[in-house]
Amino acid sequence: MTLPNCDEIIELIPAFVLGALDADEAARVAAHVAACPRCRAEAESFRDVMGLLPYAAGSLDPPPHVKRQLFARIAAVSENSSTYAVAQPRRPAARTSLPGRWFAPMLAIMLALIVGLGAVTFEARGRADAMAAELATNRQIMRSMEAQIAEVRQTAQTAQMQLAASQRELNETRIQLAASQRELQEIQASSSTDEQLVSFIAAPQTVSQLLGTTERAPEEASARMFMQPGHNRLVLLIYGLKSAESGKVYRLWLAKEDQAIAIGTVTVGPDGVAEFVVDAPEPMDAYNQVMITLDEVDTAAQPSEEVIFEANL
């Protein structure tokens, strides 16, 4: 097989096998030789010449350290065969920057160190990365927990505030309830009194008597007494009477055989009305006179001169 430019290429093959072609021309010939059996055979025909030409330079033992360094280099890489591909052949240009006799052992040692240190560094870096990742995760968990704790604390504070407010409301409610209960009790008591008063006044056997007023009584004042024969109870309703001035009270007296007995004090409301229910020591039949006086608070031994109402029974 002959390619179109074989004759031209064949002329260049001797220079090609000697390495005496320029780079671009050598590349062109190499490409042709690879595809052309005839030219490849021509190139291989110079194999013996190229294999013997170096002998023309003579024979000289290289220093022993060259061999030691070479096999130390191989051993260093072989011991780290996993990183075999990393090791690259040295280039003369790079070596010229260092003394040649030291470069190879240094490179072998450095390769071993790099591989060893690389493994240690990689392992350490891996551990550091794992620890850093774990630390970051822990920090994130801690931040999350801190946020949860803060949220719980805020919730607890809110709950405490709500509880305190509820307790205050409860106390106020209790106070209001107590007041209401007292009011209710008072109302119930008042209602009971009113019921008793109404039932007593409405009873068929009850008789009433209008008490007479004196010149000390206000013109609009009036008083009526209700009682039942044979019973001790006495009900007194007063209208149009002013409240007693300070240090004085209205006092009810019953008289028996000219002996006046203080029965109780009568409280007049702001509306000028007073309702008084009292059980006398004896049935009302035993008394022959009733009167209401304006007395000093501490003088209950006998009625004063200031009689407001009076009546004979």
**Residue ranges that bind another protein, judged by CB under 8 A:** 11-12, 14-15, 17-22, 44-63, 66-67, 69-71, 73-75, 78, 89-93, 95-96, 99-101, 103-104
**Smallest distance, another protein to C-beta of residue 87, A:** 8
**Smallest distance, another protein to C-beta of residue 105, A:** 10
Pick between residue 60 and residue 202 the one whose CB is nearest to another protein: 60
Work out the end-to-end distance of the chain between its first and last CA atoms, rounded to an integer number of angstroms: 170
**Smallest distance, another protein to C-beta of residue 121, A:** 26
For residues 223 and 252, is the Cβ–Cβ distance under 8 A? no
Name the residue among 248, 241, 240, 251 with its Cα closest to residue 292. 251
Pick between residue 14 and residue 272 the one whose CB is nearest to another protein: 14
**Smallest distance, another protein to C-beta of residue 128, A:** 34
Pick between residue 8 and residue 279 the one whose CB is nearest to another protein: 8
**Smallest distance, another protein to C-beta of residue 113, A:** 19
- Cα Rg of the chain, angstroms: 67
Pick between residue 47 and residue 153 the one whose CB is nearest to another protein: 47
Alpha carbon distance 270, 65 (integer Å)? 134
Distances (CA, A) of 100 to 34, 112, 209: 36, 19, 151
Own/partner pairs for 196-201, CB < 8 Å, 24+ apart?
196/277, 197/235, 197/275, 197/277, 200/226, 200/228, 200/233, 200/235, 200/277, 201/226, 201/235
Pick between residue 69 and residue 213 the one whose CB is nearest to another protein: 69
